[in-house]
Amino acid sequence: MKKIIDIIELELITAFANCGYNEKYARITLSNRPDLCEYQCNGALAAAKEYKKAPIMIANEVIEQLKSSELFDYKEAVMPGFINLKLAPAFLASYLNDISKDERLGCDKTENPKTIVIDYGGPNVAKPLHVGHLRSAIIGESIKRIGRFVGHNVIGDVHLGDWGLQMGLIITELKLRKPELVYFIDNYNGEYPTKAPFTISELEEIYPAASAKSKKDEAYKEEAMQATYLLQNGHCGYQALFKHILDVSVTDLKKNYEALNVSFDLWKGESDAQPYIPDLVQYMKDNNYAYISNGALVVDVKEETDTKEIPPCMILKSDGASLYNTTDLATIIERMKLFHPDEIIYVVDKRQELYFEQVFRCAKKTKLVKEDTKLKFLGFGTMNGNDGKPFKTREGGVMRLESLIANINEEMYQKMKANRDSISDAEAHETAKTIGLSAMKYGDLSNQASKDYVFDIDRFTSFEGDTGPYILYTIVRIKSILAKYANMDGSLEKAAINPSKSESEKTLMLELTKLNSVVKASYEEIAPHKICSYIYDLANAFNRFYHETKILTEKNESVRAGWIKLLILTRDILETSIDLLGFKAPERM
């Protein structure tokens, strides 16, 4: 379905062409002075130089051509040559009725679907999720949903940190505590247990304890490095333990991500890329992409146009060990082999931008990806506390993600109970989770991803202002009106959205036309904050209309039914939008 701005522009193109002017000047934008008009065209100003005419003369000629147009009820040329336009209420109502009949609310799917892998999440196994994992999960999930809504095949990969010394540390510490386990028996030929010899709580305590020991005890660290080597070279007992570590960790991670309404298609990790590394290294050498520098194997990735120093991408350290670079390049090889993606998007802390610039250049230079494969880095800013520093607990430690979620849910629960005495505890707790998730996700996503922001629980959980709870409250208000209308035995069988009768109604209707443009822009710019901004404006427009209009007590049934149809469309667009952001609305609040 055509965007409304495209329909308007087509009308202007015809008018400009009929006057003998190039259609490139018929560009339409939303008015930056909504008090004067709804749309504007400044093309006459640009055309004046080419056609050697005063801009106002060109604008007046175009206006003359638009006199018979049914799209506008106001069109005027304003000095020095602006073309100001307001839509005709009948045309606007007709457009919204078409949207309301479309199951995708006027948003066409792309004609050229792509396969896109999104790398987001990035947790380490054997460690609890903390607030530092929040932004990647929330932003990545929304980008995935928007991409799918647009019509692309989007694959979300959690990309676990499950390789390297951390595994050796866990194995070493476990061997010290439980040496009798069969995993540590040399030449053991039996079946290994199917149940892990530790719980997630024990595992989360083992790793930091082992890490702390390794920093003080050189012999302990050496033993952990040897355990890592044996694991990576096929030690059966250690590989069985590694599988337990993964199973226990992933089960817990899935539970925590589920609380965020975040899901992944792939639960792959750094370990999945390891089999590709030997061939990758040989390929780099055979094709003269890599060379030895100070004992390390590196690939030059600097370019003549660089204005800053871009260091070489290291493939192997001087001792022959691989690095994160190696693993990430091997992961790209695996993704190209398994999914043939047109794009790979990495949702990562913006402080890693230089690192990914090296990896992307290396992948392109060494032809690990096709020439037209896009590698994109979406760097997100820091989530800070009210003191402007990275968000921490009151004691100064890094807050666990489940603790943050629990705090927000409790805050919402207390507000629910304070405002609604009649609600049961069970319903209040369940509703609090739904609203709390909206507070957390909207609070994050309403900011441009690359910007740092202050995570203010009091503000984010408010039912007023630019917050998730305010958006949900608006949706619930609409649902309540629709339920009351249904109880009045109102019929919508022949109902349609009517031409607007007030300024607030028209403002709401104009906001409803923007969904397809906003979704398109959000996808193309990888910018979920544009959807947040849109639904906040839409919620404001609806609430103003609601406060100024006696919807259910309107005597004229046709008018009342038309308003109900308008509310249904508003609800559907708001619910579709919040689903793209990764949360939903309750039935009541």
- For residues 393 and 241, which has the higher predicted lDDT (pLDDT)? 241
Alpha-carbon gap, residue 562 to 549, rounded angstroms? 13
Looking at the DSSP bridge assignments, the partners of residue 414 are none
> Domain 4-87 adopts which CATH fold?
Gyrase A; domain 2 (3.30.1360)
Q: Which residues contact 95 (CB under 8 A, 6 or more apart)?
A: 4, 7, 513
Contact 147, 449 (CB under 8 A): no
pLDDT at residue number 392: 77
Q: Which of 166, 137, 167, 147 is nearest to 262 (CA)?
A: 137
Name the 3-class secondary structure at 19: coil
User: What confidence category does residue 493 fall into, taking pLDDT thresholds of 50, 70 and 90?
Assistant: confident
Specify the residue for token string 């390789």. 163
Q: Does position 490 have pLDDT exceeding 90, yes or no?
A: no
Q: pLDDT digit string (tens) for 294-304?
A: 999 999 999 99
Alpha-carbon gap, residue 319 to 332, rounded angstroms? 24
pLDDT at residue number 491: 80
- Angle at CA 574, nearest 5°, toward 572 and 580? 105
Q: What number of other Cβ atoms are within 10 A of residue 376's Cβ?
A: 14
User: What confidence category does residue 158 fall into, taking pLDDT thresholds of 50, 70 and 90?
Assistant: very high
Q: pLDDT digit string (tens) for 439-460?
A: 999 999 999 999 999 999 999 9
- Angle at CA 527, nearest 5°, toward 536 and 340? 140
One-letter amino acid at 177 equals R
Alpha-carbon gap, residue 382 to 390, rounded angstroms? 7
pLDDT at residue number 395: 66
Q: What is the mean pLDDT of residues 251-257?
A: 95
Number of helices followed by number of strands (H, E) in the chain: 21, 13
Q: Does position 315 have pLDDT exceeding 80, yes or no?
A: yes
Q: What is the mean pLDDT of residues 33-47?
A: 95
Q: Does position 465 have pLDDT exceeding 90, yes or no?
A: yes
Name the 3-class secondary structure at 82: strand
Alpha-carbon gap, residue 544 to 509, rounded angstroms? 12
Alpha-carbon gap, residue 437 to 584, rounded angstroms? 9
Q: Does position 269 have pLDDT exceeding 70, yes or no?
A: yes
The proportion of the chain whose per-residue pLDDT surpasses 90, expressed as a percent, equals 89
Q: Does position 505 have pLDDT exceeding 80, yes or no?
A: yes
Contact 220, 182 (CB under 8 A): no
Q: What is the mean pLDDT of residues 24-28?
A: 96
Q: Work out the burial of residue 336: count CB atoms within 10 Å of its CB; fewer than 13 is exposed, 13-18 middle, 19 or more buried.
A: middle
Dihedral over Cα of 170, 175, 177, 182: its sign: positive
Q: Which residues contact 372 (CB under 8 A, 6 or more apart)?
A: 342
User: What confidence category does residue 411 fall into, taking pLDDT thresholds of 50, 70 and 90?
Assistant: very high
Alpha-helical runs (H) found in 344-424? 353-365, 401-419
DSSP assignment letter at 264: -
Alpha-carbon gap, residue 143 to 530, rounded angstroms? 12
Contact 172, 232 (CB under 8 A): no
One-letter amino acid at 546 equals Y
Quick one: residue 296, left, alpha or beta (phi over 0 = left, psi -120 to 50 = alpha)? beta
Alpha-helical runs (H) found in 233-347? 236-259, 270-273, 277-286, 324-339
Alpha-carbon gap, residue 187 to 190, rounded angstroms? 9
pLDDT at residue number 193: 95
Alpha-carbon gap, residue 24 to 179, rounded angstroms? 77
Alpha-carbon gap, residue 405 to 258, rounded angstroms? 12
Alpha-carbon gap, residue 68 to 579, rounded angstroms? 41
Dihedral over Cα of 273, 279, 283, 289: its sign: positive
Alpha-carbon gap, residue 357 to 471, rounded angstroms? 38
Looking at the DSSP bridge assignments, the partners of residue 83 are 41, 77
What residue segments make up the domains of the chain, in order of their start?
4-87, 165-259
Alpha-carbon gap, residue 431 to 437, rounded angstroms? 10
Dihedral over Cα of 190, 191, 192, 195: its sign: negative
Name the 3-class secondary structure at 130: strand
- Helices 503-512 and 89-101: crossing angle in degrees, nearest 10, is 40
Name the 3-class secondary structure at 34: coil
User: Which segments of 47-134 are extended strands (E)?
Assistant: 72-78, 82-87, 115-119
Q: Which of 243, 266, 220 is nearest to 120 (CA)?
A: 266
Looking at the DSSP bridge assignments, the partners of residue 377 are 346
Q: Does position 182 have pLDDT exceeding 80, yes or no?
A: yes
